[in-house]
Amino acid sequence: SQQGEEDPQALSIQEGENATMNCSYKTSINNLQWYRQNSGRGLVHLILIRSNEREKHSGRLRVTLDTSKKSSSLLITASRAADTASYFCATEASNTGKLIFGQGTTLQVKP
Amino acid sequence: GAVVSQHPSWVICKSGTSVKIECRSLDFQATTMFWYRQFPKQSLMLMATSNEGSKATYEQGVEKDKFLINHASLTLSTLTVTSAHPEDSSFYICSAEALAGGRDTQYFGPGTRLTVL
Q: Do A45 and B34 touch (CB under 8 A)?
A: no
| pLDDT at residue B99 is higher than 60 | yes
Interchain contact, A101 vs B60, CB within 8 Å:
no
Q: What is the mean pLDDT of chain B?
A: 91
DSSP-derived 3-state class of residue A82: helix
Place B100 in a pLDDT band, splitting at 50, 70 and 90.
low
Contact A42 B60 (CB under 8 A): no
Mutate to test the interface with A, among B24, B36, B43 (most CBs of A within 10 A): B43
C-beta atoms surrounding B81 within 10 Å = 24
Residue B88 three-state SS: helix
pLDDT at B103: 53
Which member of B60, B106, B111 has the closest CB to residue A99?
Answer: B106
pLDDT of residue B97: 86
Q: What is the average per-residue pLDDT within B91-113?
A: 82
Pick from B93, B104, B108: which is nearest to A48 by CB?
B104
pLDDT in tens, B34-86: 999 999 888 999 999 998 888 899 999 999 999 999 988 889 999 999 999 99
> What order do you get walking across the sheet with A5-7 strand by strand?
A5-7, A19-24, A71-76, A61-66, A55-58
pLDDT in tens, chain A (111 residues): 445 688 899 999 999 999 999 999 998 999 999 999 998 888 999 999 999 999 999 999 999 999 999 999 999 999 999 999 999 999 998 888 889 999 999 999 999
Phi, psi torsion values for B86, nearest 5 degrees? -50, -35
CB contact under 8 A, A43 and B44: yes
Distance CA(A12)–CA(A110), nearest Å, equals 7
Closest CA to B110 of A84, A38, A83: A38
CB pairs under 8 A between A and B: 47
